[in-house]
Copies of this chain bind each other. A is one copy, B any other.
Amino acid sequence: MPRNPAQPLLLTPGPVSVSRTTREAMMVDRPAGDVEFQEDLAFARRYLVSLIGGGESYTAIPLPGSATYANEGVIASLVPPGGKVLLHSNGVYGDRLVEICAHLQVAHSVVRTPPFTPPSAALFEQAIRADPGITHVMLVHCETSTGVLNPLEEVADLCRTHSKGLLVDAVASYGAIPLDAKRLGFQAITLSSNKCMQGVPGVGWAVVQKQALENAKGQCRSLALDLWDHNQHMERTGGFRFTPPTHVVAAFAQACREHAAEGGVEARLARYSRNWKRLIDGMRQMGFVAVVPDNFASPIVATFREPNHPDFSFQALFQGMKRRGFVIFPGRLALANTFRIGCMGDVTEEDIGEALQALSDTMAEMGVTQFGRDEAVLA
């Protein structure tokens, strides 16, 4: 059955497609003070804490906007005056943490590593030992710009050994990759309402250790992003401090119910992994080369090298896919001649199969059928 290009399937690093029922939760205008709305909010907050086994030690704080707001809120709220953050970057989202610290005038140092492989834990250990001023380490768990999974467990161990506060950007992994608060001991972890949680975009979340939050009282130099303040208001009233995006929050509660119904993190990881395997296998059969080595790749998004063929153009591939009802994504500028296909969202293995067929048809239309693995490797 041909897809409707007016309702395309998003195979991107985000926004990703959500279920029809999640979108339909937005068809009611609800008052923010109403009991039904506040029940949805309370449920979503509890559910997010339960996903990391946070028990009574963590609290989930929604920050309307995007996950970048949540990352900024975490740094601005939890790093005390005189604190210093060790950052790592091997992509766009690592770089963004650097930008946030620079804007906030929060002291920071940066470990930079190449984009397609994770860093060794030894690099972090060196950096921590070299600078006793470091109070916190912030790590992007899954770098959305490539799909590389960074070594969260090893960095968590280092933070425990050296008594550093750990902050985690899990925007592209929360909900689909197991994250154990007791094992990892992070002070805060951030996520998006969209991505692996499959709500519509519009709310960033920070799940924060209550003790770390209490220590942060009065510390944030922003009202809008003051996590302590949002949390105390929510605990006291059951509602948001400022007018919330009621429709987005309703969709998120529905998305959490569907996450649970699917079988939680384990089931979602299994589905995304099937999507990713089908995608990688199918693309390799056509002659494409995946940029990230399989053992470092997450089943979130895959990055492929463009075939080195005179008739290939990403724009033509993008448009051909779009006409067939699929949206794919360019590579980042710094990673020239690559493109990305996402495996997240309300997407099944069958959808990936159809997308592969659409991709094959588009390549044929473009006249790019004869490119072998070797040729692509040379690209």
A residues whose Cβ falls under 8 Å from a Cβ of B: 6-8, 10, 12, 14-18, 23-24, 26-34, 63-69, 72, 76, 96, 99-100, 102-105, 192, 194, 200-202, 220-226, 242-248, 251, 327, 329
CA distance A65 to B243 in the complex (A): 9
- Can you list 29 A-B contacts (CB < 8 A)? A7-B28, A15-B30, A17-B29, A18-B29, A26-B247, A27-B27, A64-B65, A64-B66, A64-B202, A65-B69, A66-B243, A66-B244, A68-B223, A68-B242, A100-B223, A103-B220, A103-B222, A104-B222, A104-B223, A192-B243, A200-B245, A200-B246, A201-B246, A201-B247, A202-B247, A202-B248, A221-B221, A225-B225, A247-B247
Cβ-defined contact, B15 with A72, below 8 A: no
Cβ-defined contact, B15 with A224, below 8 A: no
Contact of A15 among B12, B226, B243, B329 (CB under 8 A): B243
- In this complex, which of A100, A194, A201, A221 has the most chain B Cβ atoms within 10 angstroms of its Cβ? A201
Contact of A29 among B15, B24, B99, B221 (CB under 8 A): B15
**A20: nearest chain-B partner, CB-CB:** B27
**A226: nearest chain-B partner, CB-CB:** B103
- In this complex, which of A15, A26, A72 has the most chain B Cβ atoms within 10 angstroms of its Cβ? A15
Task: Give, as a whole number of angstroms, the nearest-CB distance from A371 to chain B.
Answer: 26
